[in-house]
Amino acid sequence: MEPLTILALGGAGFAAGFIDAIAGGGGLISLPALLWAGLPTHLALGTNKLQSAVGTTMAVSKYHAAGLIDWRDLRPAVAVTAVAAALGTGAVLLVSNDLLKRVVPWLLLGVAAWIFLRPRLAEATGAPRLGTWPFALLAGSTLGFYDGFFGPGTGAFWTAAWVEGRALPLTRATAATKVVNLTSNVAALAVFVAGGSVAPAAAGAMILGQLAGGRLGASLAIRHGAPFIRVVFIAVVLALVVRLLWTA
């Protein structure tokens, strides 16, 4: 791989890690970059999961250090998400996801509108609507499978689920989203690694950028809180909608 290509992938990894740590959607940058570098689709998908998992790990560590993650509350969601994501990744090899490509942009528009019309998301939203395990079984199974099967917008859907289902304020919902995103990334990555669908050189280049971008993005989100997250979240979701509609 040429030095300029490696440098470009590192820059793409930084940008993707930065965006992912705040609002998700880093795949908008990282996956096209890997395809541009000449990787076949299956290698690009597997490599993208590896570099994303590393960047998300950095973001999770920052949110944990800030005391924004309740690990006891998250354990059931993590367990269910891991199994569902692995099943989703296996299923994508067998079933077309063309229907999701048409439906998901409109679901994401609904999420963006919901965030835009809820300016008080920095505050707790009352009692949780679902208990820990019912929430884990509902959100973990559907969103874990979705992330393994298709993926775009998973972070947005998880954030909305944490706010509505578990009554988390936006900053804590973002932190919790990073944990379950990391879970589904690792579960999907295991399937890709088993199939030999990871390119180590490209992954290494992007991982260096991901580590720096994930650290910076999480730091800014923690420092500036819900108003900052809200603006970046809406911008990323709208960009993702445009890209999905264009490719569809």
Q: At a CB cut-off of 8 Å and minimum separation 6, what does 19 contact?
A: 25, 26, 28, 29, 213, 217, 232, 236
In whole angstroms, what is the distance from residue 224 CA to residue 177 CA? 18
So what's the pLDDT on residue 24? 79
Does this model's pTM top 0.95? My answer is no
Instruction: Tell me the pLDDT band of 92, cut-offs 50, 70 and 90.
Output: confident
So what's the pLDDT on residue 241? 83
Q: Which two tokens stand for residue 146?
A: 């979705």
CA 86 vs CA 103, 108, 149: distances in Å: 22, 23, 9
In whole angstroms, what is the distance from residue 81 CA to residue 180 CA? 7
CA–centroid distance for 118 within its chain: 22
Q: How does pLDDT run across 9-28, given as a tens digit for each residue?
A: 999 999 999 998 888 778 88
- Single-letter code of the amino acid located at 185: N
Q: What is the mean pLDDT of the chain?
A: 87
In whole angstroms, what is the distance from residue 133 CA to residue 118 CA? 26
